[in-house]
Amino acid sequence: MSTRYALIVLFFAACVSAQTPSRSVAVTIDDLPVVSTRRNIANRRKITKNLLAHIRKAKIPVIGFVNENKLYDGDKRDQNQIDLLKMWLNAGLELGNHTYSHRSLNTIPIGEYQSDVLKGESITRELLGKREMKIRYFRHPFLQTGRSLEIKAQFAQFLADHGYTIAPITFDNADYIFSRAYDNAFDKKDKALMKKIGDAYIPYMESKLDYWERQSMKLFGREMSQTLLIHANFINSDYLDDLIAMFKRRGYRFVTLDEALKDDAYRLPDTYIGPAGISWLHRWAREKGREFILPDEPKVPEFVLKVSGFESE
């Protein structure tokens, strides 16, 4: 009887497994070493330490994208800031290029932009080289990727010539608005407001994740392997643990960017030349037809927007 019972349990477990979508996500973190109004090195070290503690606890792969202008004090290297990057490498994580000064390809000449890319790799490449690693991925600032197909093609060739792969994202969100609001509340020493903002953060991110899952289903009839963009900021240093728990509760496994990009969806061309920095899911949907873009994308709560000082998302 016990053997029969065990077989029945295994049968139903297999049925449930077959009906559950295979969910995976790659976590990418921009604006390293830190983006925050908290400019004191002790604060920045604490933000970095807390972010990495969450990542270590969850044992998940993460890639961080660096703005190397943050690694200088005037014309001289700032060893304190460079040491923050070493903390990421000591945690066994990968680093990518987010340009030197975080300027947009949509607003400056492509030659100037390419120079900013090369200027933004020197220290990162040096640190990686000491660990027999290479810099492999590039992330566009603001997710703005060029206003013409000619510029996009020219820049893609430049990246290929220098050994880079573009790091796209599907799970777009406004964590940067929550971050600014959280920083502003901290600067005002308003702990109650900080908690209110923090309490709204994970529900907002879950509603966005639900949206991108549905957008993937609308476009492909399946859930693709998602790529998440968040930032190396104060609010994530406090709430990344909760964010990871939310993903796990929804059945996600965390994968490397390499593995996520094996999803066939990423083979689709990016032909978007609009002004905004948008998710690749929306880029592909626009190419297929605007009717494929879901209209109910969640917005940042009004009170968070107000505290942040941003006029809109």
Q: What pTM was computed for the model?
A: 0.92
According to the model, what pLDDT value does residue 21 have?
56
CATH code where residue 36 lies:
3.20.20.370
In a domain, 132, yes or no: yes
In a domain, 163, yes or no: yes
Peptide bond into 269 cis (omega under 30): no
According to the model, what pLDDT value does residue 312 have?
83
Domain count, the chain: 1
According to the model, what pLDDT value does residue 22 have?
86
In a domain, 12, yes or no: no
Structural domain containing residue 154: 22-308
Exposed / middle / buried, residue 231 (Cβ in 10 Å: 0-12, 13-18, 19+): buried
In a domain, 17, yes or no: no
CB 178 within 8 A of CB 204: yes
CB 30 within 8 A of CB 98: yes
In a domain, 8, yes or no: no
Per-block mean pLDDT, blocks of 10 residues, the chain (313 long): 42 42 93 94 97 98 98 97 98 98 98 98 98 97 98 98 98 98 97 98 98 98 98 98 98 98 98 97 96 97 97 86
